[in-house]
């Protein structure tokens, strides 16, 4: 099997972006992206059956981030506490997933210099699981990934990040991204190359992708925005209410906060940014990896303020990209501690854009981050309103899942 290996310096995300630009026939000059698609007739097959079958190994890629070898690269990734900036890793995973998908959708008969007629965008970060060992900024990182499931226009990309620990390479995290292909002219869904499955291991990966798709559909139908809480969840909320009212007052309106607890409304932390061209992607929208990095950094700061220690990220899940963010938008991030259990806490970050010319305000993303505070007696977060109670149950579902 021919494996594509890249070693990326200074900005790994920018290095991968350059690789994708070559595959798409895009040339960037200063702040202007010129696409070959705008001057070359686009040939896009409408029927998936007309596209060549691709194996999982055909899309397999490896990338080395030389943290241990290159001081300048390390400076981009190291935190003020000598840890690794996980937000940078999220940016890299987003770009890496795009490279893998463009590789999958190549036609072997057209040679290595072919230009992809498709646009590929991130639809969903299904899940990122971090393993027990902490990522170090002083050792090289190896990112590996491939397409492990395809639908008609969507692809699930499974990626891992490995690092040497005690002279052995260890898997540090596993990530699943769902990417979708679009016709760059019509903006409609475009067919992707079908997947040829080889061997038991690949069947297991593909079957997992099928189960993930079904699970996402089921969770969507059970969303608290569509259906009421179940009986057990209603009992949880009612017990919280009973434990936070003044029983002596004889009224429901006087609320008391139990010892070692915090009202959810007091855990909010917000930030605002202006979307400049520097953060654009290949389609002149704001790069999804940038949004994830900013959301994560706000979530981490909020978790650190809440637990008064250095929280450890455990899981990122269910990041849906609802709409693209335009250059020039005002970008609002609002974070909140929505659930706690033992030393664990769930942080939700809501992102929305404001067009200052029209005043229109739209939700772009919701982000979910689970942290381990390592604090055994972490204060419990408690809802006061019905809307906060739904956030509490939503956070509980994410943490327990």
Confidence of residue 17 (pLDDT cuts 50, 70, 90): low
Task: Determine the pLDDT at residue 327.
Answer: 87
To the question of pTM greater than 0.95 for the whole model, the response is: no
pLDDT over 50 (residue 241):
yes
Q: Which residue has the higher pLDDT, 356 or 209?
A: 209
> pLDDT class for 279, splitting at 50, 70, 90?
confident
pLDDT (0 to 100) of residue 25: 53
Residue 245 has pLDDT above 90, yes or no: no
Tokens (6 digits) for 361:
């305000």
- What pLDDT sits at residue 29? 42
pLDDT digits (tens, 9 = 90+) for 48-91: 888 999 999 999 999 999 999 899 999 999 999 999 999 999 99
- Please tell me the predicted confidence (pLDDT) of residue 350: 96
Residue 282's pLDDT is: 77
Mean residue pLDDT across the chain: 87
Per-residue pLDDT tens digits for 114-133: 677 888 999 999 999 999 77
Q: What is the pLDDT of residue 277?
A: 86
pLDDT at residue 96, as a whole number: 95
Confidence at residue 5, expressed as pLDDT on a 0 to 100 scale: 54
- Per-residue confidence (pLDDT) for residue 16, from 0 to 100: 61
Q: What does the pLDDT average to over 210-225?
A: 92
Among 42-51, 188-197, 304-313, which stretch is predicted with the lowest mean pLDDT? Answer: 42-51
Is residue 342 pLDDT above 50, yes or no?
yes
Residue 348 has a pLDDT of 98
Mean pLDDT of 136-160: 96
- Strongest mean pLDDT among 24-33, 38-47, 325-334: 325-334
Give the span between the Cα atoms of 120 and 133, in whole angstroms: 33
Tell me, what's the pLDDT at 308?
95
Task: Output the pLDDT for position 18.
Answer: 54
Asked whether residue 14 carries a pLDDT value surpassing 70, the answer given is no
Of 57 and 23, the one with more pLDDT: 57
* Residue owning tokens 């990220």: 313
Structural domains in the chain, CATH included, are: 4-221 (3.10.129.10), 231-400 (3.10.129.10)
């Amino acid at each position: 099997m021919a494996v594509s290996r890249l070693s990326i310096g200074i900005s790994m995300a920018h290095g991968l972006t350059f690789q994708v630009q070559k595959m798409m026939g895009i040339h960037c000059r200063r702040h202007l992206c010129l696409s070959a698609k705008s001057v070359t007739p686009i040939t896009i097959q409408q029927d998936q059956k007309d596209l060549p079958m691709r194996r999982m190994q055909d899309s397999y890629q490896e990338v080395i981030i030389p943290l241990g070898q290159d001081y300048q690269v390390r400076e981009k990734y190291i935190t003020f506490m000598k840890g690794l900036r996980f937000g940078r890793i999220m940016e890299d995973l987003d770009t890496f997933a795009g490279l893998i998908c463009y590789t999958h959708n190549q036609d072997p008969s057209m040679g290595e210099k072919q230009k992809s007629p498709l646009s590929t965008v991130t639809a969903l970060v299904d899940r990122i699981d971090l393993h027990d060992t902490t990522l170090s900024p002083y050792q090289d990182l190896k990112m590996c990934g491939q397409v492990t499931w395809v639908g008609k226009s969507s692809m699930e990309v499974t990626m891992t990040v490995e690092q040497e620990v005690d002279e052995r390479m260890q898997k540090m995290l596993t990530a699943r991204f769902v990417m979708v292909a679009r016709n760059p002219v019509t903006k409609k869904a475009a067919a992707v190359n079908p997947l040829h499955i080889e061997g038991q291991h690949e069947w297991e990966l593909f079957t997992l992708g099928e189960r993930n798709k079904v699970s996402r559909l089921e969770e969507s139908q059970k969303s608290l925005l569509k259906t009421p809480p179940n009986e057990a969840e209603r009992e949880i909320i009612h017990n919280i209410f009973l434990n936070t009212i003044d029983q002596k007052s004889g009224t429901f309106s006087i609320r008391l906060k139990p010892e070692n607890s915090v009202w959810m409304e007091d855990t909010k932390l917000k930030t605002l940014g202006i979307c400049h061209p520097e953060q654009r992607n290949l389609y002149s929208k704001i790069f999804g990896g940038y949004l994830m990095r900013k959301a994560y950094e706000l979530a981490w700061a909020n978790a650190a303020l809440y637990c008064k220690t250095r929280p450890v990220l455990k899981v990122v899940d269910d990041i849906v990209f609802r709409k693209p963010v335009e250059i020039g938008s005002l970008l609002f991030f609002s974070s909140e501690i929505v659930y706690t259990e033992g030393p664990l806490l769930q942080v939700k970050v809501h992102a929305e854009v404001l067009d200052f010319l029209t005043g229109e305000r739209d939700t772009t993303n919701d982000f979910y981050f689970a942290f381990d505070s390592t604090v055994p007696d972490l204060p419990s977060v408690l809802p006061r309103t019905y809307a906060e109670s739904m956030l509490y149950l939503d956070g509980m579902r994410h943490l327990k899942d």
